[in-house]
Structure 1
Amino acid sequence: MTKPLSYADSGVSIDAGDELVERIKPLAKKTLIPGVLGSIGGFGAMFEVSKDYKEPVLVTGTDGVGTKLKLAFLLNKHDSVGQDLVGMSVNDILVQGAKPLFFLDYFACGHLDVDVAEKVVGGVARGCELAGCALIGGETAEMPGMYPEGEYDLAGFAVGVVDKANIIDGKSIVPGDVVLGLTSSGPHSNGFSLIRKVIEVSGASWEEKIGDKTLADAVMEPTRIYVKPVLSVMEKVEIKGMAHITGGGLLENVPRILPDNTQAVVKAGSWPRPEIFNWLQEKGNIEDHEMYRVFNNGIGMAVIVAADKAEEAMKLFREAGETVYRIGEIEARPEGAPGCVVK
């Protein structure tokens, strides 16, 4: 071996990594909020919790985008999965009443394509702006041989804060309370293994029209971020419990925040189901129960309030830009019955 080896010879470009960091900096700068100390590029990211919180409790969440990434690769559409990444974590911590403070992302690939990575992180920054939190740091890992050519993986980490006295834990939920549903933008980031299977067996074209969108646009619509509307409504109406409707759908997510002696009874047809779900059910011949167990079916966040607060809450959500429906009620849970049923 006469030629000196470099890191680039092994497939890792330090220069590409440095270029990506420089491109990311202005994206991250747009997300900065009070409390951020320092800037992108340090070894650790720092955030000072506001003294407005009397007993601050940190709430954390982490998630990925799942096999929706396979469609991002196939369709060469990388500008929206970053918002999915943010949404999956910030919506989760919002359920406990937490205001997201900052977010970190992890981008791993075999070969770093700076243009693609910039699009992905641009989506992350957009998601952070929608959530009102700072993109405070992250990690880009170029690992030759770990991933197929043109593919990458994503993980995200959110940290939020809530005053201890204001934590939403569902303990006050009682029979007679009302379940409100905030609409989703589509499948969000769940059920994509089944979505890909349906598309495969149906032989559908990506240009096929689903309502006013192509199939490609309908399935890649980014996850709706509920942070700002929910936080604004929380200031005026007591929210007893919330459930982010992700994998497991309404049937498995709503019971996670209910007291053991209660059951959510959701009324089928109480909201208009987006066309993409009708299409998936028809093309895949999927049973109703499976649809409710896998997909959000058009409801991205369930919000539980007292019956006498339901109308006010719905009005406030609409004023905040959300589409909201009264989708069910809380009842006493029969022995051995599931925590959520759709009738």
Structure 2
Amino acid sequence: MKPENAYAAAGVDVHSGKQSVEQMQAAVNATFNAQVLTPLGSFGSAFALPTGFQSPVLISGTDGVGTKLLLTIAAQKYDTIGQDLVAMVMNDVLAQGAQPLFMLDYLAVDKMRPKTVATIVSSIAEASQKIGAALIGGESAELPGMYAKNHYDLAGFGLGVVEKDAMLSATQAQAGDILIGLPSSGLHANGYSLVRKLFNLNEPDAFNQLDEKLQTTLLTPTRLYHPIVGPLLKKGWIHSIAHITGGGIVENLPRAYGSDLTAHLEWGSWPIQNIFDQVQSAGNLSLEDMLLTFNNGLGMILIVTPEAVTPLLQTLAASQQVAYKIGELQPATSTDERIQWKGQAPWP
């Protein structure tokens, strides 16, 4: 009888790794386009820049999905977390006006389970395809002893391209510009360490004891904004964009305009989904905690020229996309906060 491979005896199953690649290959290959110059499995991934750019600028981003991973483990549901990864990375790239080019992923597991690994990577590929990005490569690593049973980690790197004179930046935002909020799909992939604490989800079985609707809501993937915003970028209507991730509106929106400006936002100008009320109530969280931790219903905020507001909203409405006029930029005084709030706040 042939002795067990020494590496396998140490806990690394190379055969299962090959099976995982075989099962994910069709989904990954479906993202390839004419710019992808190397097949899956190459040592490095080659990608040719699209033609037609005079002064192309590459915009890169990298991110993960945090402890939302633990809920996928508890639910044994792995077919949506890939969209969280792609959105967390490529929504950032989009915020500087870039069109997506490609994604790379890193998946580390305690044990190579081909079906689970293929499901995760296929979900990354499907989300990449939705925004026109190629998933040109990545790494799936089996790390026995590093992770608890059934646990894994996930990270991604993305690249986009934009014409140099079409880049968006905080310096372009001006007094009088209007703030247009795009709704989130829920919590996205931020604040889950707090959510897990508030709903007592430290044990895997606890998640499955939640109301089924709440389970689904907590696993709802982060929204991909490129299909909505990409066509608008070509119109020249947008000065700057804020992707509302960790730190919420109060930390991310000011990154999209200069210190000489203040954003005036009005409570009630956009709907806040019920999940945020549930989270606030579960921990009796202060308004400050809610603002610093969650997106509270807005996943992206566009800073738009005043004359573009009507055609922009009409364009979105024509494609059944909802957007809200939530405020405007005004000159800052020495005593102004970066954001001034008007109206009745939803929480004390």
**TM-score, normalising length from structure 2?**
0.93
Matched with 2:329 is: 330
* Residue 54 (1) aligns with residue 78 (2): no
Instruction: For 1:278, give the aligned amino acid.
Output: D
Between 273-282 and 246-255, report the one with greater CA deviation: 273-282
Instruction: For 1:282, give the aligned amino acid.
Output: S
Matched with 1:142 is: 142
Matched with 2:32 is: 32
Distance in 1, matches of 2:268 and 2:282, equals 20
Instruction: For 2:260, give the aligned amino acid.
Output: N
Distance in 1, matches of 2:49 and 2:29, equals 19
Instruction: For 1:178, give the aligned amino acid.
Output: I
- Could you give the per-residue CA deviations for residues 15-69 of structure 1, whole angstroms, max 9, x where no partner exists? 1111111112100111122311121110011110012111111000000000101
Shift of residue 237, structure 1, vs aligned partner: 4.1
Cα–Cα, structure 1 residues 280 and 294, in superposed 2: closer, same or farther, change >3 Å? same
Matched with 1:303 is: 302
Matched with 2:266 is: 267
Distance in 2, matches of 1:156 and 1:194, equals 23
Matched with 2:277 is: 278
Shift of residue 228, structure 1, vs aligned partner: 2.0
Aligned residues: 339
SS of equivalent to 1:200: coil
Instruction: For 2:115, give the aligned amino acid.
Output: D
Distance in 1, matches of 2:22 and 2:67, equals 29
Matched with 1:173 is: 173
Shift of residue 255, structure 1, vs aligned partner: 0.5
Distance in 1, matches of 2:170 and 2:315, equals 21
- Could you give the per-residue CA deviations for residues 92-151 of structure 1, whole angstroms, max 9, x where no partner exists? 010110011000000001211111111111210121012110010000111110000100
Residue segments in structure 2 that go unaligned for 5+ positions in a row = 343-348
Distance in 1, matches of 2:144 and 2:207, equals 33
Shift of residue 177, structure 1, vs aligned partner: 0.9
Cα–Cα, structure 1 residues 64 and 205, in superposed 2: closer, same or farther, change >3 Å? closer
Distance in 1, matches of 2:209 and 2:99, equals 39
Between 168-177 and 239-248, report the one with greater CA deviation: 168-177
Matched with 2:226 is: 227
Distance in 1, matches of 2:191 and 2:296, equals 11
Matched with 1:198 is: 198
Instruction: For 2:33, give the aligned amino acid.
Output: I
Distance in 1, matches of 2:319 and 2:302, equals 15
* Residue 242 (1) aligns with residue 245 (2): no
Residue segments in structure 1 that go unaligned for 5+ positions in a row = none
Distance in 1, matches of 2:80 and 2:154, equals 12
Q: Is the 8 Å Cα contact of residues 178 and 328 (structure 1) preserved in structure 2? A: yes
Between 8-17 and 233-242, report the one with greater CA deviation: 233-242
SS of equivalent to 1:240: strand
Q: Is the 8 Å Cα contact of residues 62 and 89 (structure 1) preserved in structure 2? A: yes
Distance in 1, matches of 2:296 and 2:102, equals 29
Shift of residue 336, structure 1, vs aligned partner: 4.7
Distance in 2, matches of 1:111 and 1:4, equals 17
SS of equivalent to 1:162: strand
Cα RMSD for the two superposed structures: 2.0
Q: Is the 8 Å Cα contact of residues 237 and 313 (structure 1) preserved in structure 2? A: no
Shift of residue 187, structure 1, vs aligned partner: 0.4
Q: Is the 8 Å Cα contact of residues 56 and 162 (structure 1) preserved in structure 2? A: yes
Instruction: For 2:266, give the aligned amino acid.
Output: K
Instruction: For 1:342, give the aligned amino acid.
Output: W
- Could you give the per-residue CA deviations for residues 248-286 of structure 1, whole angstroms, max 9, x where no partner exists? 011000101111100111111111111111111112211
**TM-score, normalising length from structure 1?**
0.94
Between 21-30 and 139-148, report the one with greater CA deviation: 21-30
SS of equivalent to 1:186: coil
Matched with 2:312 is: 313
Instruction: For 1:293, give the aligned amino acid.
Output: L
Please identify runs of 4+ aligned residues in structure 1 that moved more than 3 A. Answer: 2-5, 203-209
Distance in 1, matches of 2:266 and 2:120, equals 38
